[in-house]
Structure formats: C-alpha cells, structure tokens
Amino acid sequence: MLHSAIGALLTAVFTLSVAAAEELEPASIARGAELWGKCQACHTIDAAGRTLVGPPLFGVFGRTAGTVPGYRYSQALKKSGIVWTDDTLDKYLAATQDFVPGSRMYGGLAIAQDRVDLLAWLHQRLRQ
C-alpha cells in the first residue's frame, strides 16, 4: 500500500514538474496504455514476465540499470550506475544513445507528453 502511494505521489510530482517546464497536459493513463503498444514487442511487465528482445520491466522503478538476471545488457548500461526513476527513465526514453552512449535500446519516445503518459501508465499497471 505504501509503495502504491509513493508511486502515485512520484508520478504526480514528475508530471507536474515536466508539465510546468514544457506546458504539457496532465498524464493520460489511457494514452499511456496505447503507447505501451510500442514497447511490448520488446518488453514484458508481468511479475513472471519473460525476457524478450529487452528485459522485463516489472520492478523497474528503483532498480539499478543492467541488473535483471539472465538478460544480456550492453556494457555501457551495466556500468552506468543509473537507478531507474521517473526522471532517469524520462531522460533515457527521450534520447537513449545520448543518455547512455553504447546502449542497445532501439527507439524511445521523443515527445515529452508521450513519456509522461507512458510513465503514469507504468506506475498504475505495476502497482496492480
């Protein structure tokens, strides 16, 4: 329960800070669900999710990058020391190669509103 409340609070703070800086709309969970369609070809979000092209994302918030057992990460990501938060995920998804040069992740979400919506959906989905 506490984890859910903290996650909701972090999402709200992140959304407000990004929205204020870039004049974005409040996060849309429904739009985030649509955007997940771009991610699910490579990632799973279930607790027992299997590894696909990318690592499973269950438990991603607060996890150190490059640490899911059994997934073959790039050396750049394994050595990055990044802890996945709304802020670090936002920066990574905005420009994966700029944020972690040498990362193998393909794509991302260049539009800030898309990142806000996806992260809000991930918080909601991963609390269930």
* Contact residues for 70 (Cβ-Cβ < 8 A; gap 6+): 51
Q: Is the pLDDT of residue 20 over 60?
A: no
Tell me phi and psi for residue 31, to 5 degrees. Answer: -65, -40
pLDDT in tens, 30-62: 999 999 999 999 999 999 888 999 999 999 999
Say which CATH class 2-127 falls into: mainly alpha
What pLDDT, in 10s, does the model give residues 86-125? 999 999 999 999 999 999 998 889 999 999 999 999 999 9
Question: Tokens at residue 112, please?
Answer: 């800030």
Against a cut of 0.85, is the pTM above it? no
